[in-house]
Structures are given as structure tokens and as C-alpha cells.
Amino acid sequence: MALIITDECINCDVCEPECPNEAIAPGDEIYEIDPSKCTECVGHYDTPQCVEVCPVDCIPKDPDHVENEEQLMEKYHKLTGK
């Protein structure tokens, strides 16, 4: 399942550089995660790095983009060519 940034985001800029898939970008009001690029860091790290560094805990799983570990790994392979 992809992750989503809620409106509790304080635009602190720490999550964007941590994303290995470049799925996080500034939105109109808060940072946003592109679900087509988010693998929850599967293939890169054991845990989602944006969640690890977020100081306000505003990055939950996105219920509108449910994916299992296998699907996330397939997306990782597609994005990285590995």
C-alpha cells in the first residue's frame, strides 16, 4: 500500500530527500506522495524512510492504494529496472 501525507504536515522538508523513489514532492499546501512511485521503501530499506524522519507522524498508509509486499516489490523492480 502506498503512503499518504495528511494535512498535519508542517512542511518541514525532511521527508522529500529521504525518498529513494522520488515519490514525494511539494504540493499546493503540503507535501504529497505519488502512489505510482511509492513502494514504502520496499527493495530499498526495511521501513519507510519518510515515516522514520517525520517529526509529526503524518504519513500513514493510504487506504485508497492498497498493495501487498509482493506488489510493492514488483513496483520497485519496475521503477529501478533491477
> According to the model, what pLDDT value does residue 52 have?
97
Supply the pTM of this predicted model: 0.93
Beta strands in the chain (DSSP E): 24-26, 31-33
Please give the backbone phi and psi of residue 77, each rounded to the nearest 5 degrees, phi first.
Answer: -60, -40
Supply the DSSP string of the chain, one letter for each residue.
--B---TT----SSSGGG-TT--EEE-SSSEEE-TTT--TTTTT-SS-HHHHH-SS----B-TTS---HHHHHHHHHHHH--
| C-alpha grid cell, residue 42 | 520496499
Read off the pLDDT of residues 20-63 as tens digits, 9 standing for 90 and up. Answer: 999 999 999 999 999 999 999 999 999 999 999 999 999 999 99
